[in-house]
Structure 1
Amino acid sequence: MQKKNNTPGPGTRNRLLETAIDVFGRHGFDQATTRMIAKAAGVNIAAIPYYFGGKGGLYQAVIDFIVEQIKQEAGELFEQIAGANFTGDIGGQHARELIQAFLERFINFIAGSEQGPRFSRIILREQMFPSPAYDTIFEGFLKPVLNALTTLIMAASGESDTRQATLKAMTLMGQVLIFRVARETIVRGLDLEGYSPKELEEIRRVVVANALAITAIPGK
């Protein structure tokens, strides 16, 4: 009789990572078990310590993966913002265009992508019950997003108070996140299909219009 080979094979690590995103997102770190994750992934439970050192290491790997995916999603815009010259009226207009592009991409990812709800469950749990992994989330993409939006708001509106500009940036982020956090209320309240392409376009128009109103230069 041939002895069963329990050595993890190719693709095992990725299957565990993808499965853990859903299991941690639905059950939280404390309630999720390595047995639950391994069973859902269809792999031997020994693969978790083999690849990740245990449940804590797997959770951190999930957080790292989410952060990297979101950074890749917005990487091009971060580069444009970092290299832009926002002086004068032309600079202000460019800043408003980048705000629009940033928010449209954010909406598409949070409300319109397959990964949006999967990632959001974990991020929202970390917001409510932050673990040491939250530092990775904040430093990895939330802080850069806030800093980028703050820069754009100051350039677009002439706001000189960084704190006020940051508060406005948080407001803009909140306008997008509500469409994931309160999805069921929004879908039922507006009798939506559940963010069809037409509905996403309607959401984008409203959020962008609000953003442009917030960043308008007084008297112009």
Structure 2
Amino acid sequence: MIRRADMKSENTNYELNPYINARREWTERYGDYITRARNWRVAAAMSFLTTLILAVGLSITATQSKIIPYIIEVDKLGKVAALAPAEELKQIDTKIIKSILANFIIESRSISTDRIIQKRALEKIYAYLPRGSSAATYIKDYISHNNPFVLAETKTVTVEVSTVLPLSEKSWQAEWQETSHDLQGSLINRKKWKAIISIEFSSPTTEAAIIANPLGLFITQISWAQQL
């Protein structure tokens, strides 16, 4: 009986002790905050790790991405007649090559009084000339001695391509007629020309190259002369 009374007295003193009660309250209140803070740190660390893994994965995917060029063939009305990835085409239709080479001659030799049209023509022809190639040097030298913007101050030149024929797998021959008029519209002369053109193919790898030269046809050598 005495022992039970002593234990009851100790429990009563424990409950009435203000220091012990304060410690108990601190433990219950701030211990919960500490637990929450620890859980928040763990969650933040896991979130950061997940974000890092995703970023690394996206970076690897981006470096391995590949642009696949497509070749589009259109009919006389401008409607799409054929569409396929360039890598899947075993042999390119010669009509497409003829069209590109004919347009190259027209853009290279025509002279327009409209400076915007003339500027765009020059941009188009350079899209088919590899840097440092013999053809690029030839065209650059020709333009430097026959500046179309200067010539347009006195005349215009229209070009009509008559034939574009293959000489071999990589060599082509083009023939055309140039008609020159003065700025009043009077005929100056008509001349016939012939060119020998060498080509090669290289798939474009950038968005700009695909837009400018989707087929990847490049003119590596070219020379032209007037026909007598």
Q: Which bin holds the TM-score, normalised by the shorter protein?
A: under 0.3
What TM-score results when the alignment is normalised by the length of structure 2? 0.22
Instruction: Work out which structure has the larger RCO, using CA pairs closer than 8 Å and 6 or more positions apart in sequence.
Output: 1
Q: Which has the larger radius of gyration?
A: 2
By percentage of residues, which structure has more helix?
1
